[in-house]
Amino acid sequence: MTTFVVAGSATKSHPAERGTVQITVSFTAADRRQVRADSTAAHIAVTQEAAAHQESGAATEWTAERVSTDAYREYVKDSDETVLRYRSISTVSVTFSDFGVLADWVSHLAERPGIGVDGITWSLTDPLRVSLQRKVRIDAVQDAITKANDYAAALDRGSPTLDAVFEEGLRPNLGGGGGFARDGMMMKAASYDGGSYVLKPGDIEVSASISADFTM
């Protein structure tokens, strides 16, 4: 009996369908009430705009963390003395389906004091992601079958019999764990030229890797 242990893999790419922007609202000052007031006002403005984008259909969802304030000591320049300062911070996350509106909004946000754009995460919708995962699983197994048949043909044998399929990382005695399919995300950062953000999301890659045992 001859045994073939074969790896199979597959990858499919698709343009991003969603862009989730992470926003931080943060102010620092020596006056606790002032820093709290500035941060709260900016936070409310950003969340109101996020809600408006969702209502218009440009965004699909948004979340926000409450404003928090803490105190810290800061060294006075060229001395060993410190002064007490206060910092308020909050975060807002908004998921967009309209990338043009997303680009315009983050461009405006960048011009406002106390507001920072931390980054954008690109993703697929759940139905498309699930569909692609199913396709790459099938293709990964077919890749292994094709390889096994090629090896058998090289040995002038008939078609081998598939005995077992293992998800990546789950082959006995090898340890570890893993998923049958995984999403890979190629993400290009937004760039800012002083007038508008340029968004260039890379395609989302969905991959599957397996190993399979064949005998004949």
Please report, for residues 76, 114, 145, the alpha-carbon distance to residue 86 in angstroms, rounded to integers and kept in the order given.
15, 14, 64
The terminus-to-terminus CA distance of the chain in angstroms comes to 6
- Grouped pLDDT means (10 residues each) for the chain, 216 residues: 90 94 95 94 97 98 95 85 93 96 93 93 94 96 96 90 92 56 41 55 91 92
Token pair of 147 as six digits = 């390889």
The CATH-assigned architecture of domain 3-15+126-215 is 2-Layer Sandwich (3.30)
Q: For residue 184, what pLDDT is reported?
A: 41
Query: Beta strand 59-64 with 82-96: parallel, antiparallel or unpaired?
Result: antiparallel
Q: What is the pTM of this model?
A: 0.79
Q: For residue 76, what pLDDT is reported?
A: 83
CA–CA separation, 191 and 83 (whole Å): 36
Domain(s) of CATH 3.30.110.170: residues in the chain:
3-15+126-215
Domain(s) of CATH 3.30.70: residues in the chain:
18-123
Query: Does the domain at residues 18-123 carry the CATH identifier 3.30.70?
Result: yes
- Reference 8, options 142, 133, 135; nearest CA is 142
Q: For residue 143, what pLDDT is reported?
A: 97
Q: For residue 197, what pLDDT is reported?
A: 61
